[in-house]
Amino acid sequence: MDMGLVCSLLAKAHLDIEYLQEMVVLYSFHSSKDDSWSWRGGASGIFSVQDLRRVMHSKIYDEIYTTPCIWEGWIPIKLHCFVWRLLLNRIPVTVNLLARGLISISRSCSFCSLSDEFSDHVFLDCVGTKQVWRTVSLRCGWDLTALWSIEQLLEEASHSSSHSRKRILKAIIYSSIWSIWKQRNAETLSGRAFNREFVLEEIKTNLYGSIKHISPHKEIIWQHWIVSTLHCILA
């Protein structure tokens, strides 16, 4: 690790310790009451990781996006990391690359060449992407086609009436986003033409593996899964 960074971290830690010491000195203790610890990040007064996540989101991320990136155990970590970067607009679509000084590339969408390649276009507005979402919507029984932003897409699962339905819908959305991005990279790097069926097959296969091995629904059967992704779990 860089020694300058180490020194900076140590200096900050020293200042934090001094600040805590000042807080203790200035606090008025009551001799008639017993001391106790209380967590102010939640209504119960008891610390929980879920409350801590909410506090961190409200303090750090609200100015950047409104949809909390809640990490779900059914979804592989790499998908969570990618969607988190997507919400922060940190993925290397051409508009972002050009903004960083890479001027030797085209601004056009790798799929359709009809628009600048920015995140919402790649994942929602592109002609090929819309075809993917239409088929995904039919297979999961949930309309994901009339959306205009990544934030709104990720909020769709929260509108479901049951917790299980929310979790599987979120897994479907994350897997679809990831597969679309992989197809975009194949188009950009190797010139492979957009193939809707290939993308859908990858979504279906990867999602089945994740749900069957990570979630409690280990009894799902492939033949039922390919007919109705959502209903074979919630039936």
Confidence at residue 175, expressed as pLDDT on a 0 to 100 scale: 92
> Does residue 206 sit within a domain?
yes
> Does residue 228 sit within a domain?
yes
Q: Total structural domains in the chain?
A: 1
Confidence at residue 23, expressed as pLDDT on a 0 to 100 scale: 79
Confidence at residue 234, expressed as pLDDT on a 0 to 100 scale: 52
Confidence at residue 163, expressed as pLDDT on a 0 to 100 scale: 74
Confidence at residue 2, expressed as pLDDT on a 0 to 100 scale: 61
> Does residue 13 sit within a domain?
no
> Does residue 36 sit within a domain?
no
Give the three-class secondary structure for 108: strand
Confidence at residue 64, expressed as pLDDT on a 0 to 100 scale: 47
The structure's pTM equals: 0.71
> Does residue 184 sit within a domain?
yes
11-to-1, 2, 147, 150 alpha-carbon distances in Å: 16, 14, 47, 40
> Does residue 144 sit within a domain?
yes
Q: How far is CA 192 from the centre of its chain?
A: 27
Tens digit of pLDDT per residue, the chain (235 long)? 466 666 777 888 888 888 888 877 777 777 777 777 778 877 788 888 777 777 776 665 554 444 555 677 778 889 988 998 998 889 999 998 888 887 677 888 888 888 899 999 999 999 889 999 998 888 777 888 888 888 888 887 777 667 777 888 888 899 999 999 999 998 888 777 788 888 988 888 888 888 777 777 777 777 777 666 655 555 4
> Does residue 63 sit within a domain?
no
Q: Report the length, in residues, of the chain.
A: 235
Alpha helices in the chain (DSSP H): 3-26, 49-56, 77-87, 94-99, 119-120, 127-140, 150-155, 163-190, 196-214, 222-225, 231-234
> Does residue 17 sit within a domain?
no
Which pair of structure tokens corresponds to residue 111? 């799929």
DSSP for 61-100, please give it.
Answer: ITTT-SS-----TTS-HHHHHHHHHHHTT-S--HHHHHHT
Domain that holds residue 209: 70-234
Which pair of structure tokens corresponds to residue 148? 């205009």
**Measured distance CA(181)–CA(71) in Å, rounded:** 20
CB contact at 8 A, 98 and 105: yes
Confidence at residue 57, expressed as pLDDT on a 0 to 100 scale: 67
Confidence at residue 101, expressed as pLDDT on a 0 to 100 scale: 83
